[in-house]
A and B are shown apart, each in its own frame.
Chain A
Amino acid sequence: DAGVTQSPTHLIKTRGQQVTLRCSPKSGHDTVSWYQQALGQGPQFIFQYYEEEERQRGNFPDRFSGHQFPNYSSELNVNALLLGDSALYLCASSLFPGQGTTEAFFGQGTRLTVV
């Protein structure tokens, strides 16, 4: 049973560029959430997708957008990259709240460096 998989594992982009990160959730999970973890901090919630819709959003600008596909996989897009966007981006999969246990399982993350 594959867990949560993310690609790529590392990425270097230039300021102003756009980036797309990908996530496949754990088998049986239908909800994908994205988190940003800056160095020395805990993960910060970006947004959550369920049934191909953004259900919740954290305090992130519109430059951060996402998508969920019918097979529950998800993409995180960041436009007009800033140096401050350099971080570890984590994808978490779970069941939608109220459908069972609420533990979220994380992928290994994508380390994004903006230069």
Chain B
Amino acid sequence: DQQVKQNSPSLSVQEGRISILNCDYTNSMFDYFLWYKKYPAEGPTFLISISSIKDKNEDGRFTVFLNKSAKHLSLHIVPSQPGDSAVYFCAASRPSSNTGKLIFGQGTTLQVKP
């Protein structure tokens, strides 16, 4: 039962352009969403999060959009840089229910070409 899905295993973009990574979820009880970036041989690094009471959150080059009705979130990276090349995971949780358990998607490998 895959509650969080990232349907694109990989994405390739040119340096300077926008990268858009997508994530879908099935459980409407999720109320907090996070994006993590992972380089090989390292643990996931927290990027940005969004609460279900918002539909957008920005942090520098990274913006996360949440569409609750569609149960869909996306991460926009503008402009993309070669150092952004990594595996990106979206994750969902229900902190309002005192559960810090994160449910992860399968990941999307982003390649930013110089």
CA distance A109 to B43 in the complex (A): 6
**Contact pick for A42, options B41, B97, B105, CB 8 Å:** B105
* B49: A residues at CB distance < 8 A: 102-103
**Contact pick for A103, options B34, B99, B103, CB 8 Å:** B34
- Asked whether any CB of chain B lies closer than 8 Å to the CB of A113, the reply is no
* B67 smallest CB distance to A (angstroms): 21
CA distance A77 to B49 in the complex (A): 31
The tally of residues in B whose CB lies under 8 Å from a CB in A reads 28
CA distance A14 to B71 in the complex (A): 43
- Taking A42-B105, A108-B41 as contacts, is the C-beta distance between A103 and B46 under 8 angstroms? yes
CA distance A107 to B4 in the complex (A): 22
* B105: A residues at CB distance < 8 A: 42
- Asked whether any CB of chain A lies closer than 8 Å to the CB of B82, the reply is no
